[in-house]
Structures are given as C-alpha cells and as structure tokens.
Amino acid sequence: MDFLQPTSWSEALDLRAERPDALPIAGGTDVMVELNFDRRRPGALLDLGRVPELSEWEADDGVVRLGAGVPYARVIDQLGAQLPGLAMAARTVGSPQIRMRGTVGGNLGSASPAGDAHPPLLAAGAVVEVASAARGSRDIPAADFYTGVKRNALEPDELIAAVRVPAATGPQQFSKIGTRNAMVIAVSAFACALHPDRRAVGTGIGSAAPTPRRAADAEAFLAGELQSAGLWESRAELPETLARAFGERVAAAASPIDDVRGSAAYRRHSLSVMARRAVTWAWSDLREAA
C-alpha cells in the first residue's frame, strides 16, 4: 500500500486522478478502523493532512466556507456563533482525542448514515464543494450528496474541498440519542434550523434511514403553519400541538431499521420527541432574541 502525501491542493487532485485506487484519509478516525480490521485494503492512502488549503475556514457574505480538513475541535471552539447546529453536533463526536482528529470533510467522505455532522448540514442548507483536476470544482447540495449507505455523489477522481454553510440567521438545535452519555454512535439524531429571514425551517435526520436525510414535509408543514398563524411576525409562543405535529412528521420521514444499537420503533419514537423538543427550544430562542 502506497502512502501519498501531497502538500498542495492541486497536487492532491492530480494524485487523486492518477490513483483511483487511493483512499483519501484526513483525521483517520474512520479509515484507520477500516484498515485495522482489514475491511479495506486500498492500493494507496492519500493523506490530505498536509494540504494547507483544506485546514482553514473563512466567512464571507453570510456563508462559512469550512475547509474539509478542519477538525471538530475547531468547529466547537471557533464556529459556535455562525454554525451553532454544527458546533453542537461536533460536541457529541467521540472523545476529545477523536474531536481533535476527525473532520467534517471526513464525515462527508465516509457518508455514514450515523455521521454526526450530516443533520446540521442538511438543516442549514449546506453545499459540498468538490473538485477534480480534470473538471475543476462543482457544488453538490448536501441534500443531494448522500446517495446510499456509506455512499456519496463524489466521482472517482474528485475530492471534497470544503463545505459551504450559510451562517445561522436564526436558532439552530441538534439532538442525538446514545445509550450512554458520551462517546457513542448515534442511535438516532435530529437537527433543525429556523431561517426567519426567509421564513423557512430546515431539518436533518441521522441514523434513521439508509442516508442522512431532510424531513421535507415536516419543514414545509411547520413553515406554513407558522406563516398562516402569523407567528413569524408575532413571535408568540409555539403551540404545543404544532410542535408535536412537527415531531410526528419528522418521525414519518425516517426509514429506520432494527439493529444492535436500537429498534426501528424506538428510533422513530425518539425522532418525534427530539424534533418536538428541539423546535420548541429553537422557537423559544427566537422569541428571546426578538
């Protein structure tokens, strides 16, 4: 197994094109597990850890461009204000050591339905910026990025450059169920974002379908109800019945399975509870901000 270690983005893309058998590695928190268990034996590892372009983030015109190699620990420390949902999700990732190594780009590359970063990216309406040496860069909305269990929309010669996430214009929440209180893979997870500027609601569901996914029907339902009840203007209290109906629609959007971590029925139930609570907190934050 070759070990490729580019030191610039263009070199990384060239190597990616030359070596379709290479497996990109960033923090290694997924890849090294696969290698250690002999589940994958790629012809080469493409280490992106020395590509300086990947390790920075910048904010411009209300959008945060988060380099694919920025670890969770920096998301927590530096982006809590602009990307609160993603920062909350980052806090639930593994242990402190894992958060120092693991990256949002790596989460996207692995595209596990249980990846903690996905629900807040979906809720915020993020766009994944990918690139190849041959065709340059292209944008893939997060909602189109996940194509199957641990599969994504990358072409074989493409790498993830960054994820562009609109900075929050309203409250965001992230909730994750695990059967212990830390260092746990999600049994189910939910993110929501209120976008008062465009009177919209964003959602993301984790660990409850073959891919991370939005609950589009629940988003439209809640945004519509808030609109028709005049709540976007009045900022009156969110009716509990509305929060509950939203939760039920979120649960209905999931296609969970029974596995060793939890039952399908529990996953669905927990999503309805998390969604109800999360949207209630988010709405309450919005009222307090007003």
Partner 1 sequence: MSTEATTTPTTTTTTHGRIGDSALRPDGTLKVTGEFAYASDLWHDEMVWGVTLRSPHPHARIRRIDITDALTVPGVTAVLTADDVPGENAFGLEHADQPVLASEFVRYEGEPVALVAADHPETARRAAKRIQVDYEVLPAVTDARRAMDPDAPAVHRPGNLVRHLKLRRGEQSPAAPVVVSLDFEVGMQDQAFLGPESGLAVPAEDGGVDLYVATQWLHVDQRQICLALGMPPEKVRLVLAGVGGAFGGREDLSVHVHACLLALRTGKPVKMSYGREESFYGHVHRHPAYLTYEFGAERDGRLVYGRTSVVLDGGAYASSTAAVVGNAGTLGLGPYRFPSVSVDVYGVFTNNPPCGAMRGFGCVQAAFAHEALMDELADAVGIDRVAIRQLNGMREGDLNITGQVIDSAAPVGELLQIVADLPLPPPSDPSDIRALPGAVGNTTHGEGVVRGVGYAVTYKNVGFSEGFDDYATARVRLEMTGGEAVATVHTASAEVGQGLITVEQQICRTELGVERVVVHPKDTSVGSGGSTSASRQTYMTGGAVKAACEAVRTAVLDRAAGVLGRPAGELRLDGEKIAGASGEVLTGLAEVLGDDAVEETVEWRHRPTHAIDPETGQGDAHVQFAFSAHRAVVDVDVELGLVKVVALDTAQDVGKAINPDAVVGQIHGGSAQGMGLALMEEIVVTDGHVRNPSFTDYLIPTILDMPPMQVKVLEYADPHAPYGVRGVGEPPTISSGPAVAAAVRAATGRALRRVPIRPEHITGT
Q: Which of residues 55-94 bind partner 1 (CB under 8 A)?
A: 88, 91-92
Residues 247, 276: Cα–Cα separation, whole Å: 5
Helices (H), 130-236: 142-145, 216-228, 231-234
- Residue 29's identity, in one-letter code, is T
Give me the phi and psi of 41, to 5 degrees please: -140, 75
Closer residue to partner 1 (CB): 69 or 84: 84
Interaction of residue 273 with partner 1, rule CB under 8 A? yes
DSSP code of residue 52:
G
Q: Is 265 in the site for partner 1 (CB under 8 A)?
A: yes
Q: Which of 127, 160, 177, 201 binds partner 1 (CB under 8 A)?
A: 177
Q: Which of 81, 14, 133, 85 is CA-nearest to residue 279?
A: 85
- Residue 176 interacts with partner 1 (CB under 8 A)? yes
Nearer to partner 1, 69 or 71 (CB): 71
> Which of 107, 132, 207, 270 contacts partner 1 by CB under 8 A?
270
Of residues 116 and 129, the one with the C-beta less far from partner 1: 116
The distance of closest approach from Cβ of residue 267 to partner 1 in the complex, given in angstroms and rounded to an integer, is 9
Tell whether residue 150 is a contact of partner 1 (CB under 8 A).
Answer: no
Rounded-to-integer distance, Cα 89 and Cα 173, Å:
9
Distance CA 231, CA 216 (A): 20
Under rule CB under 8 A, residue 182 binds partner 1: yes
Q: What's the closest the beta carbon of residue 36 comes to partner 1, in angstroms?
A: 7
Q: Which of residues 189-248 bind partner 1 (CB under 8 A)?
A: none
Alpha-carbon gap, residue 177 to 184, rounded angstroms? 9
Contact between 118 and partner 1 by CB under 8 A: the answer reads: no
Question: Which residues are CB-neighbours of 82 under 8 A, at least 6 positions away?
Answer: 59, 64, 165, 167, 168
Binding site for partner 1 (CB under 8 A): 36-38, 88, 91-92, 173-185, 187, 260-263, 265-266, 268-270, 273-274, 277, 281
